[in-house]
Structure 1
Amino acid sequence: MPAHVLVTGAAGRIGTAVLDLLAAEGVSTTALVLEPAGTRAGRTLAGDARDPALVADALDGADAVIHLAAIPHPGGDPDAEVFARNSQATFTVLDQAARRGVPNAVIASSYAICGLPFARRPLSMPYLPIDAHLPLQITDPYALSKRADEATADMIHRQYGTTVVALRLPFVGAAGDRLGPMAELFARDPGHGAADVWSYLDVRDAARALVAALTPAVPGNHVLYVAAPRTLAPQPTEWLLDRFHPGVPRPRFEGRTVPIDLAPARDLLGFAAEHEFPVG
């Protein structure tokens, strides 16, 4: 494990869980937050992750970075701002870290990069299970910003040799806030989960995956999907796919198996979700 980690977006749902986990493992942290806020980090700075001087200050003493700072979805801000803020923040954080010789970085990419969750015209899956080779069908600025983030990670690795892991996170929540209502919605109307293939991840597992990605088994630039192994819908996956993704090439999925290839994250990070929401 690294000795000191910079966590950007540290006041958010996932960032808070990451700080809690790193504290439990005895790793010191610096938190970068947009607005002044209390955190569990040893040092907290407030400001915009697009500011190179601020990021350079936040990186003092850090030997790893977990970058989470971003506008989390389109629709609440102008399209140009969603793309510009997200992509510029990722470039600034990775560039400043690489220039200072920080060897490992993790960025929060998104399942939404595939294009379907925020699609602005009808789309269909090219095939299942979803994996990192799936052709992207981007029609929104948030997914585009994540594609730019992953390209930035690739550039940083090529230029500096930094190991960067981009985790394509699904819908993330905790049993007490977001997962319960979403599971109830999928039970009543499973079509609401079709674009996300009913995938999710408990926030504690999201934190575990991000921390595990600081020490991948093989250095390099990696793009990985993580999710709970079973869907958040009570219906069998085969029934869901027959109804909402008919004709999409796929193997058979037993029970409620999530139709996402989770093997690369298991092989590279040793990660498998431990917290499944009780569905049905």
Structure 2
Amino acid sequence: MRIALTGSSGKLGTVVARELRAAGHDVIGLDIVGQRGPGFVQVDLSDYGQVIDALAGVNDQHDGVDALVHLGAIPAPGLRSDVATFHNNMLSTFNVFWAAVRLGIHKIVYASSETVLGLPFDVPPPYIPVDEEYAARPESVYSLVKHLEEQLAIELVRWHPEISITALRFSNVMAPEDYAEFPFDEDATTRKWNLWGYIDARDGAQAVQRALENARAGFDRFIIAAADTVMTRSNDELVAEVFPGVPTTGDLGTNDTLLSIDKARRLLGYDPQHSWRDHR
């Protein structure tokens, strides 16, 4: 496929671009910053005119795309003011989705976030492991936008049932060079904010590819995390210390992820291959 990739210069986007190209796809990167050259177009996603024009075709770069991967955003709460985060991320996602609809691009995969699950879990989750089955619990403006983006996608596919929009609720994205800081065993509360989860950027790219290949028409959401936690301490010990009284569903495993990836495994064929433990 020829795939437009917003946020192609970001931490996850650079890996997604590399892995999709290695799989044989033609990737057109769209970002406000990046290296000039084939396969990259500088675009301000908050400007609808630039977005639809870049997706429709750019001189000798391309004459239209088959699919869209949308990763472009202010990537976390607290990096900019709440108002700037809301305005940039909400407007950018609307522009990207709306341009795709208008251009007849029927396959969309985009970055939602683990934050919609209730991070930083100052209010404990309803149960552990968490999954996609309970209602969103945004606790920041950044997370609120991610929730609203999912609601936007739901309505767009209701209007256009032929479109597939997949929300990937990525955990905290890590690269191999980040693993020198692992594990975080000294204080269980240091990483309790996302149930001690993470995602290797290479497995994040795999999830994108599986969604492009396997997602059906309509909207769906998937938690995307590594298969393990950032701890060597056992899950039973961590949950008892930090979230006493929260119901658990089934065997938590010793260090298995507490951000359930069962749905992504089952419906997308997602199968994480990378762990910080491989770099110790």
Same-fold status (TM-score > 0.5): yes
Secondary structure of the structure 1 residue equivalent to 2:274: coil
Of the structure 1 ranges 5-14 and 134-143, higher mean CA displacement relative to structure 2 is found in: 134-143
User: Contact (CA 8 Å) 2:202, 2:274: kept in 1 or not?
Assistant: yes
**Secondary structure of 1:59's aligned partner:** helix
1:9-38 deviation digits (Å, cap 9, x = unpaired): 100011101110111122112111112x21
CA distance in 1, matches of 2:146, 2:22: 30
Partner of 1:254: 253
The structural deviation recorded for 1:137 is 2.7
Contact 2:4 2:67 in 1 (8 A): yes
The answer to whether 1:83 aligns with 2:86 is yes
> Hey, which bits of structure 1, 4+ residues long, moved more than 4 A?
none
Q: Deviations over 1:77-119 (max 9, x none)?
A: 11111112111111110110011111100110010112323x7
Change (3 A) 1:180 1:112: farther
| In 1: Cα distance, 2:200 partner to 2:260 partner | 18
Give the counterpart letter for 1:45 in structure 2.
V
Name stretches of at least 5 consecutive residues in structure 2 with no aligned partner. 57-63
Quote the residue 1:108 is aligned against.
Answer: 111
Q: Distance in 1 between matches of 2:223 and 2:32?
A: 27
Spell out the pairing of 1:1-280 with structure 2 (5 A cutoff): 3-35=1-33, 37-38=34-35, 42-60=38-56, 61-117=64-120, 122-161=122-161, 162-176=163-177, 178-181=178-181, 183-184=182-183, 186-251=184-249, 252-278=251-277
Asked if the contact 2:6/2:71 (under 8 Å) is kept, the reply is: yes
CA contact (8 A) 2:8 2:29 kept: yes
Q: Distance in 1 between matches of 2:68 and 2:237?
A: 41
Distance 1:208 1:38 in 2: 24
Q: Contact (CA 8 Å) 2:166, 2:215: kept in 1 or not?
A: no
Alpha-carbon contact 1:30-1:58 (below 8 Å) kept? no
Q: How many residues align?
A: 270
Letter of the structure 2 residue corresponding to residue 165 of structure 1 = T
Would you say the 8 A contact 2:118–2:125 is kept in 1? no
Q: Decide whether the 8 Å contact of 1:90 with 1:152 is kept in 2.
A: no
Q: d(CA) in 2 for partners of 1:123 and 1:86?
A: 25
Q: Percent identity?
A: 31
Q: Is the 8 A contact 1:105 1:165 kept in 2?
A: yes
Asked if structure 2 preserves the Cα contact closer than 8 Å seen for 1:199 and 1:231, the reply is yes
Equivalent pair of 1:218/1:268 in contact (CA under 8 Å): no
Give the distance between the partners of 2:242 and 2:188, measured in 1 at CA.
Answer: 9
Q: How far does residue 220 in structure 1 lie from its aligned partner after superposition?
A: 1.7
The alpha-carbon distance between structure 1 residues 190 and 180, as it changes in their structure 2 partners (threshold 3 A), is farther
- Contact conserved, 1:116 with 1:196, CA < 8 A, in 2? yes
Deviation readout 1:212-269 (Å, 9 max, x if unpaired): 1112253220100011111111101111001111100113312111122212111211
SS class of match (1:230) = coil
Instruction: Indicate the larger mover: 41-50 or 79-88.
Output: 41-50
Distance in 1 (alpha carbons) for counterparts of 2:224 and 2:40: 28
One-letter amino acid of the counterpart of residue 217, structure 2:
P
What CA distance in whole angstroms lies between the structure 1 residues aligned with 2:51 and 2:32?
Answer: 12
Query: TM-score, structure 1 length as denominator?
Result: 0.91
SS at 2:220 equivalent: strand
Q: Does structure 2 retain, via aligned residues, the 8 Å contact 1:9–1:33?
A: yes
CA distance in 1, matches of 2:51, 2:94: 11
3-state secondary structure, aligned to 1:221: strand
What TM-score do the two structures reach when normalised by structure 2?
0.91
